[in-house]
Structure 1
């Protein structure tokens, strides 16, 4: 009898889901608008190709804020830029690196963010590497020889092929040999830096102080022609990140005694402390205007590429969902907000500031949906540690088309996420915030913080699915007659401390930030 009842309950749930999808005209209108009148490609072009990277403190970040406000207003949606703090203002210019000896070749390199500018002429010098160092005294002796030289500061990679290429084509013995050599090279490099008496960060100041003309790094992401692009820490000399292929060539030339020379022109502007903003848009609720569904995506990016998958795609999902909702659901029961957060990359600063500045909103959030990690379709939805998350999230998901939900793995009640993206800012304040976690599409190797994070990496079919999912979840959360429960699970004991694990701890945003000049 128990098994029969279970089957009957499952049948009723399935029937309810089918009916929710087939009979609700708002759901059907959302799906039709997303599929037949998508604005995603146009929005992506404007944001990524025209405005480009959105590094905190740059004019392009403010340009993006203003563009989003104007775009929302063109759709009849109220929008504004809300200051969250200040940051070091900086604007990228031209980077050009050329090898001039033993032959001439233009090299692929990018000036690192917040890096000092060169003169119009740039800097020129012989390229050198950090030799094998026995101790700190030996390092200090070597430093006296580097004045006017350009120093390669990253290890030489033994291969430029990603591991999956080796797995497909190499013999097992050859693959294992390569990995062993790479591991040994990595250990030797780390030990050599340790022998200097400094680490990979503090050694840079010593090289600059000793008179190096410039520094060249190569942060390979283990993908063909792809580099991670991070910030620099020099005060007066240029630092560029060079792609693996050209970096390895220079490194080998130094090892073989060819004494290569390069020219570096890296232009940029210091703009002082500048105001930075979150862009907030709103569709006002008619029945419960002081209860909120918050759509969430960080707007800033690193600037090696144009921030297409980190987090252009999340931004596009939320903008398209808001556009569709305004057109097909213009009078929601609850207020629908979207937050395009600034400075997520430096510690969730924009979303933390919003949570800190708007407790009246945070305490009345029905649900928040955050999307951050790449271009793929959403495949994971966790209850984030809320005890009754299964009840309301399953109800809302029942209205989403099966061709979308069949790819989504749910986890209830799940566990709260302590970091990573802006949903953590809301979770730390007790709000029911959920991450729409997607397929990676080689996100970590090929697009995350790399020079290849560009428009052409977007898979628009998947992004369109995510916009439909977000819009329907938002509609269902707004229409739900019940408030969501924020009762949390009892956290398990941490074996190291003997105490219950804690939820994400609220932290204040870094309101004033940036690197020292």
Structure 2
């Protein structure tokens, strides 16, 4: 996960620690996760001098509970294998919400409840097939976009290639495309072939952040292409085409599949593997007749346009700070083409298990420890934004903001937890370094001043309260699992789930027990 630059920045009890890329197998930690090893690490670091206090006995108790009586694999299995993809507001997502609520109530957590917010229609795919019938038979790899309407039964037709269409050629085709299967993009030649780089432990934010001329040019080109695609889509909707096909940016059978509800004007929309899309396009380019057969059967659910966040907590007992909040969250929704394992059943399961561990130990924290499982994250952080609007934003919530200590988010990447993106808040580093130090003999640990986008901690930062996303493992994440048909149970190692839950439980406990709230950074700004 880490880059070679980390070697001189990561430390373990005064000695250089092993960066993630040096000793951790993809999907598994190199050393057996055990209470004894954690206890030895805690004792070996006890003489480091003045630093954020860590309760050694509690770390050992948390580790024993989380390794010997863990329920996290059970949760993860149920969310992925039993329920599967959990598209926001779908019946499967509702099932996952009720399952999670039931487990939290069974464990005896306080104030377990659902918070509704308006989202819109749910959607479920009931049947799908895509085949090439001519010039030879071949089943093809594809998947409908989320909220795609159904086809009118099984559509058999000769496809039309409009991937290189200009406004003039589109005008010439007007009135001729009703019911057609249309290839809407050029032949796909660029692919996702690299995962995101690991964050840098030595990062320092620039002030202000600058975009290069090259980045601005690329941004302008993306905007131009987006406008052209939108123009084509609008025309095809007016024509009421039978199916819109687009190529995928993944390779080797990996499909990146998202989507959105486009209302009554929408037409059936399918993403094909780039290899198969390009095959059809090249046959058409050579004048070879092609016949495709496509069927999409989907069901919309609009009996309840609300969806729900799940909230649970362990109530703080200190009369001075008991109403202050230390919070952990993860989104429970996923995309629909797989089982939402790395995005984000692992994060949701770990967050739940962290609170179960603390409740099982009969922990009575000074501050309230709160859990949230968000919905609508994949559609734009909608669930966490709804929560923040209700509980933290505006003059009416000024006291709640003042009494809020910190939010930790579990999302991007896959477990274990290596550290946290600290968003430029230098005061957080020694605190989080101390909280992670007991676990460094199990996996490399480091925190970074870098920020990260596109996940739910941003909702909290924008409300003016601290929010931090965990640093996870990105091996094969962006290339293979993130929003794809390959995001399955097999991508996550059970031991890493257990380790992450123990780490998160310990962090929550210590944040809830410290003398002061977590330090805030008044200079934080989006994009830093």
TM-score over 0.5 (shorter chain): yes
The reply to whether residue 157 of structure 1 matches residue 188 of structure 2 is: yes
Task: Find the residue that maps to 1:410 and give its secondary structure.
Answer: coil
Task: Find the residue that maps to 1:53 and give its secondary structure.
Answer: coil
Residues 432 and 447 of structure 2 are in contact (CA less than 8 Å); yes or no, is this contact kept in structure 1? no
Task: Find the residue that maps to 1:452 and give its secondary structure.
Answer: coil
TM-score by length of 1: 0.79
From the CA coordinates, give the structure whose radius of gyration is larger. Answer: 1
Aligned equivalent of 1:409, options 434, 437, 446: 446
Q: 1:471: how far off?
A: 0.8
Q: Compared with structure 1, are the counterparts of its residues 138 and 85 closer, same or farther at alpha carbon in structure 2 (3 Å cutoff)?
A: closer
Superposition map of 1:319-358 within 5 A: 319-358=352-391
Q: 1:114: how far off?
A: 1.0
Cα deviation 1:173-216 (Å, max 9, x = unaligned): xxxxxxxxxxxxxx9xx99x96xx96113312212323432111
Residues 116 and 268 of structure 1 are in contact (CA less than 8 Å); yes or no, is this contact kept in structure 2? yes
TM-score by length of 2: 0.77
The reply to whether residue 316 of structure 1 matches residue 349 of structure 2 is: yes
Equivalent residue number for residue 280 of structure 1: 311
Rounded to whole Å, the distance in 2 between the matches of 1:62 and 1:218 is 31
Q: 1:402: how far off?
A: 2.4
Rounded to whole Å, the distance in 1 between the matches of 2:380 and 2:430 is 32
Equivalent residue number for residue 230 of structure 1: 258
Residues 134 and 290 of structure 2 are in contact (CA less than 8 Å); yes or no, is this contact kept in structure 1? yes
Equivalent residue number for residue 516 of structure 2: 482
Equivalent residue number for residue 468 of structure 2: 434
Residues 124 and 300 of structure 2 are in contact (CA less than 8 Å); yes or no, is this contact kept in structure 1? yes
Cα deviation 1:78-104 (Å, max 9, x = unaligned): 321111223223222211122222233
323-332 vs 42-51, which moves further: 323-332
Number of residue pairs matched by the alignment: 451
Q: 1:437: how far off?
A: 1.4
Q: 1:383: how far off?
A: 3.0
Rounded to whole Å, the distance in 2 between the matches of 1:339 and 1:163 is 32
Structure 1 gaps, min length 5 = 1-8, 165-186, 492-501, 506-517
Task: Find the residue that maps to 2:508 and give its secondary structure.
Answer: helix
The reply to whether residue 30 of structure 1 matches residue 69 of structure 2 is: no
Residues 375 and 440 of structure 1 are in contact (CA less than 8 Å); yes or no, is this contact kept in structure 2? yes
Superposition map of 1:176-325 within 5 A: 199-221=228-250, 223-231=251-259, 233=262, 235=265, 237-272=267-302, 274-287=305-318, 288-325=321-358
Rounded to whole Å, the distance in 2 between the matches of 1:347 and 1:163 is 24
Aligned equivalent of 2:422, options 380, 383, 388: 383
332-341 vs 351-360, which moves further: 351-360
Task: Find the residue that maps to 2:233 and give its secondary structure.
Answer: helix
Structure 2 gaps, min length 5 = 1-12, 16-42, 196-217, 393-398
Cα deviation 1:261-298 (Å, max 9, x = unaligned): 12221111222361111001111122242011101111
Residues 407 and 457 of structure 2 are in contact (CA less than 8 Å); yes or no, is this contact kept in structure 1? yes
Residues 325 and 370 of structure 2 are in contact (CA less than 8 Å); yes or no, is this contact kept in structure 1? yes
Task: Find the residue that maps to 1:201 and give its secondary structure.
Answer: helix
Residues 381 and 408 of structure 1 are in contact (CA less than 8 Å); yes or no, is this contact kept in structure 2? no
Rounded to whole Å, the distance in 2 between the matches of 1:208 and 1:367 is 46
Residues 163 and 187 of structure 2 are in contact (CA less than 8 Å); yes or no, is this contact kept in structure 1? no
Residues 446 and 452 of structure 1 are in contact (CA less than 8 Å); yes or no, is this contact kept in structure 2? yes
Q: Determine which structure has greater relative contact order: mean sequence separation of CA pairs < 8 Å that are 6+ residues apart, divided by chain length.
A: 2
Give the RMSD, CA atoms, in angstroms: 3.2
Equivalent residue number for residue 39 of structure 1: 71
Rounded to whole Å, the distance in 1 between the matches of 2:170 and 2:274 is 26
Residues 162 and 185 of structure 2 are in contact (CA less than 8 Å); yes or no, is this contact kept in structure 1? no
